[in-house]
Chain A
Amino acid sequence: MSIGYERRWETRRQAGRSAADEARDSYYGLPAIHKPHWKWSIVLYFFLGGISGASYVVATLARLFGGPEMRPVARAGRYLSLLTVLPGPLLLIYDLGRPERFHHMLRVLKLRSPMSLGVWGLIAFSLFSGLSALIQAAQDGLLGRRGPARLIRAMPDRLVGLLGSGPAFFLSGYTGVLLAATAVPLWTKNFLLLGPLFLSSALSNAVAALFLLLSATRQASSQALERLERLDRLALLAELALLLGLRANSGPVIGRPLDEGRLGQAFRSVLGAGVVAPLLLQALARGRHSGMAQALRLLAGLLVLAGGFLLRFVLVFAGHRSADDPQATFELTRKR
């Protein structure tokens, strides 16, 4: 075990400002609250968990209402959901200060702690995701034809999917509530927008991933792909509206990390390359079936996925920066 300490304040002074300058409008510019330690593993978990929940929902709806031509979408959705939920617990445990104590999360269920709810939601959803993938594997004949495989195949996959859709939506959206229920100015200021934003981004990511998978394996009809593209468009439009709402609602002080520096560039990239560009590419390719149009669609899918990851990265790290800014905290807590 290494002895260490963290200097949080040493490098915080802004260039060209003396300690006396900073002391005039805050306590030497030092953070008024502590930021969370969350790093890349949490960003990745937000990304994969979102895809997992949303692809489960897409698979369920495709199976329930899509007819035979949507069967490949349901199949791919179920497998993708399990594949993307599996790394979740590992990423979360890796992030703990004491990973060997991860099971202490299972001592209690606290309705006012999104972290506690999230742990139980993840467990519940993993069971559904695993079960649906198992049924799909049995239907695909991957488990053989006899004995337990026949039993599993006989299970009501549509009912399981319907029941699992609640936890699936929860997994994709609760991460926004997790951020909102903190003292971090950027997150708590946008407490009503973060959940819907995570949800719509998760949906667009899952649809893009399924589109790419099904296009690459040539499993789905062009009709099925068209329907996926239509859903992607709706999810992206919702995401666009929520992103603009988030920026406007944050205001000039709390929203500063979304404007300035590399994080500001990243936020604009999310908007431009991750949301607007895919919408334009899809519009260009609409109604056409040439190789060029297909390439545009694939590019749009890739951009959506990259934008989804970058969005979570920006939200987490811009939150860190707003927590470090005492003016942002005081903007939120000033006496009215």
Chain B
Amino acid sequence: MSARTLQGNGRAGTTGARPGALGFLTDTTLCIGCKACEVACKQWNQLPMDDFGFTGYSYDNTGDLGATTWRHVAFIERVSDREGRRPTRLKAFQSNWLMMSDVCKHCVYAGCLEACPTGAIIRTEFDTVVIQQDICNGCGYCVPACPFGVPALSLTDGKAHKCTLCYDRLKDGLEPACAKACPTDSIQFGPVEQLMERAKRRVADLHAQGVTEAYIYGDREVGGTGGIEGLNAFFILTAPPEVYNLPAQPELPQRKVLPAFLSTAAAALGLGLAALLSLRRR
């Protein structure tokens, strides 16, 4: 994992984001796990509470992103390595306790948007991905079409919901609620190009400070792969993506549409011929 995003295959640190696109840089090395982003998001977007209980999964009682949870702070306690050995030395920056505020990635090419059969999911003037609530009819196809498990159907109103990157706040020139509330600037908001430059500098700094595991998740090498062409909301991580429940090399599901239709058409030809030969008059 070490230092790969600064060398790699030339796609590291690049994004297909359109000029002027707005997004998030979530720098997990700065996250203190306060969940102010979760709370600010719920408050601003008037989202109801989730289940009020304990999961037993460290400090994470939220579980994952959902219809009423658009920011989710993951907690990973690394009490031992794969062989069960306890660490005896602490490294800098989060060391054995990883915290990461997950959010909709606002993909450059978004699976949910392409799947939506009503046109409810749109790309806004800020190049964010938003579900128009007056259009969505709750077909639920965007839910499995997201490679990151972001949109979800609400049992309350039957429609699909996810982070809007605070579209209403952007309209008024304000930054999204979670970024505003973050006390350590772990969540940073701005034009994706600038954020990507900042992220690359930050990763280089971290490497210089001895955190050689740090890398960008959401460029075209990791996270924004397979036709997704980058994530407008991207991250700086210090462990493999799977540790944070993120796919390392996701693929845009719609890449499968044409080949799948072609194989189906070929099968239709074959079966049609078989039917013709079986049913014809002899």
Contact = CB atoms under 8 A, between A and B. Distances in A.
26 contacts: A9-B55, A10-B51, A26-B242, A27-B245, A30-B245, A32-B246, A35-B144, A36-B141, A57-B275, A61-B276, A95-B139, A96-B158, A97-B158, A108-B117, A108-B119, A174-B264, A178-B141, A188-B253, A192-B263, A199-B271, A231-B279, A238-B271, A323-B144, A330-B242, A333-B147, A333-B247
B279 A196 contact: no
A244 interface: no
Contacts of B150: 34
A105 interface: yes
Contact of B279 (A33, A169, A199, A227): A227
Interface of A is mostly: helix
Given A9-B64, A330-B247, A104 B118 contact: yes
Given A8-B63, A65-B281, A108-B118, A34 B144 contact: yes
B281 A69 contact: yes
Given A33-B148, A98-B138, A110-B117, A196 B246 contact: no
B51 A181 contact: no
Given A70-B279, A115-B115, A231-B279, A7 B249 contact: no
B138 A96 contact: yes
Contacts of B279: 58, 61-62, 65-66, 70, 73, 227-228, 231
B257 A27 contact: no
Given A177-B264, A194-B260, A231-B278, A1 B157 contact: yes
Interface stretch (A17-25, A135-143, A150-158, A286-294): A17-25
Contacts of A198: 264
Given A35-B143, A70-B281, A97-B158, A231 B148 contact: no
Interface stretch (B32-40, B72-80, B193-201, B203-211): B72-80
A177 B260 contact: yes
A27 B275 contact: no
A336 interface: yes
Contacts of B275: 57-58, 61, 203, 231
Nearest to A206: B275
Interface string A211-245: 00000000000000001101100110010000000
A105 to B, nearest CB: 5
Interface residues of A, number: 94
B84 to A, nearest CB: 9
A115 B232 CA distance: 26
Contacts of A8: 63-64, 66
A330 B241 CA distance: 10
A183 B281 contact: no
A8 B245 CA distance: 15
Given A97-B153, A231-B279, A330-B247, A107 B260 contact: no
Interface of B: 48-51, 53, 55-58, 60, 63-64, 66, 68, 74, 76-77, 79-80, 82, 111, 114-120, 135-141, 143-160, 222, 242-251, 253-254, 256-257, 259-261, 263-268, 270-272, 274-276, 278-281
A19 B57 CA distance: 6
A8 B57 CA distance: 14
Interface in A192-209: 192-196, 198-200, 203
A332 B74 CA distance: 22
B79 A181 contact: no
Contact of B119 (A7, A110, A230): A110
Contacts of B261: 174, 177, 195
A119 B77 contact: no
Contact of A183 (B140, B157, B253): B253
B72 to A, nearest CB: 11
Given A230-B278, A231-B278, A177 B257 contact: yes
B149 A28 contact: no
Contacts of B276: 61, 65
Contacts of B80: 20, 24
Contact of A97 (B111, B137, B260): B137
